[in-house]
Structure formats: C-alpha cells, structure tokens
Structure 1
C-alpha cells in the first residue's frame, strides 16, 4: 500500500446490497473504486449495528485493493487483532472511543495494519496533534457517525488545520459522510485525499447494472479534482 496524495474514492459498503457483498465489492472496484470502506458499528459507540470481523474476512477475497475498516466501536483494543486477521489494510479507531488512543494506534500497527484515527464533528483537530508519528490516516467525520445518507457538515477549517499539522508526513486525510460531487471540491481543496461515499456511489446501480457506480465514482473524482462540469 504505497502512499500518494492523489484523490482516492472509497465507496462505503454500508450503502451496498447486504445480500451481495462480495459481488458489490468486485463491481465497485471494476467501476473505478480505489479503496473499499467498511463501516463497523456496535450499537454502543454509535446508534447502529452493522458487521464484524467475519464479514470482513468473507469479503476480503473479493477485494483486490485496499480494505479500509472504520471501527465505530468501543472498546476498540480487544478487536484489533481479529480485524487485522480478517484482512484489513487500514484500521481506523475513534479518538473519542477510549482513554488510550495512542496505545490503540500502537496495537493496530503491531497487528500489521495501517493505523487510522477518526474525529467526530465536535472534536477539534488538536485532539490528534500528539499522534502524528503514530498514524497513517486521519478520518474527518463530516456527519455524526452511525447512519448513512446524512447531510454533510462543513469541516473545511478542521481539514486545513490537519493538513498544516501533517506537513510532509505520509498521512492520508479521509473524509467520511455526505460526500458527493457538490461537497467533494471543498474537502479536496482543503487537503483531503481519500473520499468515502456511500449512497452517492451506489445510487442508481446494482450488481446486475453496475455502470451507474462508475458514473458516480467518476463524477465525485472529477469534482474533487476540479474538472467536474
């Protein structure tokens, strides 16, 4: 998993057909997805329940590229090894999910995955200022975590602050929530390079008709790169 700051589109399978996860993962990659984003929710840290390590292990053979696992769970630490063994390339934990985020990030790297840290909308950029040497990705939530399809919350100033904090370190800035061709330009200009999109990617398509996935992915990418008409 080499590092670059080009725009990467990471469809969230939270918006996919749950009965066809493997085929959905193959379809979005074939249609241009760079990463596959897996939203793990526990009904405790966030008010929704999705899937766990067994689902990640089941879809891993269907994903050629990066499996990006976003843990919206608390506690996090007891489950890191299971998600790493399930094939997660990136494991992201919330800074708000426990008292020892530094230890959590160390554990993620020790398990062989890239370490991500997520910030809820109400959490300032400064919350990760002491973690820069321990992280590979910062996920900026642009909705309150828990459900797909929510309205985008403008976090431009936070993204800019994080981009300045990162400097030349090989750390991705990921945006999760409400990303579409209308919102992609502002976050990309602020410094984000990984854009998670659920309904904006899967809308209008299906496993049997995946072409709309490609149209949607291209529209978001072009908007982020400033070439969308």
Structure 2
C-alpha cells in the first residue's frame, strides 16, 4: 500500500526484500500501489512466489502479468468490489490467480461484502477447469469463509481474523477446517 492507490501505507520495497530473503515459506505480494506496472517486476525479480497487481492500477495488465510470469513468479490480478470481471476475461491466459476483494482495499477489519459472491461465482465459471486460483480478501472469518468457498473461492486472506485472535495458529486451523467442510 502506497497511500496513493489506497489511503494507507505499509512498507516499502526494501522491507519487502528482507521479508522475502528471510522467509522459509513462499511469499505472495499483493501490490495495492499506483505505479504497479513498473514496481511489480521488481517484486518478481527478488523471488516473490506470486505477485498480484490491481487491474484498476495497471495501464498494461497483460504485459505486466506476462512479465511477472517471465520472471518466475505466479501472476495475480486483483479486482476492487466495483470492478467488473467481464472487462478482464481476456486475461485468463496470463493469470495464475484472480483475487476478488470483498472489502474496499486499504484497511483491515472491514465487514465482508457478501454481494461480492456473485462476482466470485462468475469468476469461477470463467476459470472453468484451468489451474487458476480464486482468492478472496477482506472480512474473511469463521463466519464468512464457508460463504466464499461455496461461491467458488479456493484461496483466502484472513488477516484480521488471524492476527486479532488470541491464538493465531488455532484460528488458521479452524479456518482451514471450516473451508474444507463446504
């Protein structure tokens, strides 16, 4: 987050480099930034497992997604709640993951937008049997993860639910169990 594309700031590229360098697990970079077409390639080049760009921030999404893949990372395309998936259907051949935002991006702790489940279902239909992940981000909790799974999501970001929990590891187990029950 760069405080331009969304009204919040997290950390800069140098901090991300250190996280990626020191992480024993694959790192996903969800770039909520304005200059995404240029900066996404920097993240892909340092060994980030997947780099997700926002469709609304990219002037050349096809080119950027192809470049992310060429650098060895999985390519992701995120869509804000108000963005129609049909505008980006032609990118299905260069996307490894679609990310449907279920809150307005920028701040944690927002309420899950159940009305986004129609977009999730449409995106699942678009994906068909292709090996493309369908991720949801925003308001994911014990109460909402099954709703998102039923709509077709297979990958979940549950920041506030996990980090605000008294026992984050147990919360992750509970979320996984709840998603698997669908």
Normalised to the residue count of structure 2, the TM-score between the two structures is 0.94
For residues 76 and 66 of structure 2, the distance between their equivalents in structure 1, rounded to whole angstroms, comes to 11
For residues 133 and 203 of structure 1, the distance between their equivalents in structure 2, rounded to whole angstroms, comes to 37
The equivalences for 1:1-229 within 5 A come to: 41-154=1-114, 155-205=116-166, 212-226=167-181
For residues 180 and 192 of structure 1, the distance between their equivalents in structure 2, rounded to whole angstroms, comes to 14
Structure number having the greater helix percentage: 2
RMSD between aligned residues: 1.4
Instruction: In structure 1, list runs of 5 or more residues that go unmatched.
Output: 1-40, 206-211
Work out the number of aligned pairs and report it.
181
Which structure has the higher relative contact order (CA within 8 Å, separation 6+)?
A: 1
For residues 202 and 86 of structure 1, the distance between their equivalents in structure 2, rounded to whole angstroms, comes to 26
Deviation per residue, 1:155-191 (Å, 9 max, x gap)? 1111111111111111000111000010000111111
Q: Contact conserved, 2:35 with 2:57, CA < 8 A, in 1?
A: yes
Normalised to the residue count of structure 1, the TM-score between the two structures is 0.75
Instruction: In structure 2, list runs of 5 or more residues that go unmatched.
Output: none
